[in-house]
């Protein structure tokens, strides 16, 4: 999920409604100043759902996590649908297929949103840099940390 930059004008407009926003944080599901869409995911057609995902994604912040359909974190099929959209958006930002599969796998590795999603600016793009790599410790765990790096279970040193 991306952190959207606010313009000075947007910041000034928001200041006027700070009291209402602060009050909303105390009454919303997740403590943010936005809340669920008051319908279930599959109440919408696939086209409507895609448009909703796009709109909420464009608004930025944690909205895609906690301001989607009200069943997003509770219905496995709804959660899978929102994950598929997130994965498509995220995978498009990662050039290397191996890294793409590690960072945004096609098969949902866990219920989307039960681990706090990354609120980021260009995080996934950093993996496109030649000086950046990802060590997959899911199949080759960390044995020890050394002064010069990490030794993995198979003896390789990173």
> pLDDT (tens digit, 9 = 90+) per residue, 61-104?
888 988 999 999 999 999 999 999 999 999 999 999 999 999 99
Report the predicted TM-score, pTM, of the whole model to 2 decimal places.
Answer: 0.82
Please name the residues in contact with 37: beta carbons below 8 A apart, sequence gap of 6 or more: 52, 67, 68, 69, 70
Cα 152 from Cα 45, distance rounded (Å):
48
Query: Domain coordinates of the chain in residue numbers?
Result: 8-133
What is the structure's pLDDT at 144? 94
DSSP state of 6: P
- Record the tokens describing residue 100, joined without a space: 């793409």
């Amino acid at each position: 999920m991306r952190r959207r930059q606010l313009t000075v004008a947007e910041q000034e407009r928001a200041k006027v409604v700070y009291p209402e926003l602060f009050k909303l944080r105390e009454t919303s599901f997740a403590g943010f100043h936005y809340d669920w869409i008051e319908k279930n995911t599959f109440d919408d057609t696939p086209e409507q759902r895609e448009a909703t995902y796009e709109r909420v994604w464009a608004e930025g912040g944690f909205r895609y996590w906690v301001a989607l359909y009200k069943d997003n974190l509770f219905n496995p099929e709804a959660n899978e649908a929102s994950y598929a959209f997130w994965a498509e958006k995220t995978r498009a930002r990662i050039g290397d297929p191996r890294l793409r599969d590690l960072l945004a796998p096609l098969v949902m590795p866990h219920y989307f949103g039960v681990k706090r999603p990354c609120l980021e600016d260009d995080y996934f793009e950093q993996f496109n840099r030649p000086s950046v790599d990802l060590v997959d410790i899911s199949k080759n765990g960390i044995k020890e940390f050394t002064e010069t790096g990490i030794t993995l279970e198979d003896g390789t040193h990173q």
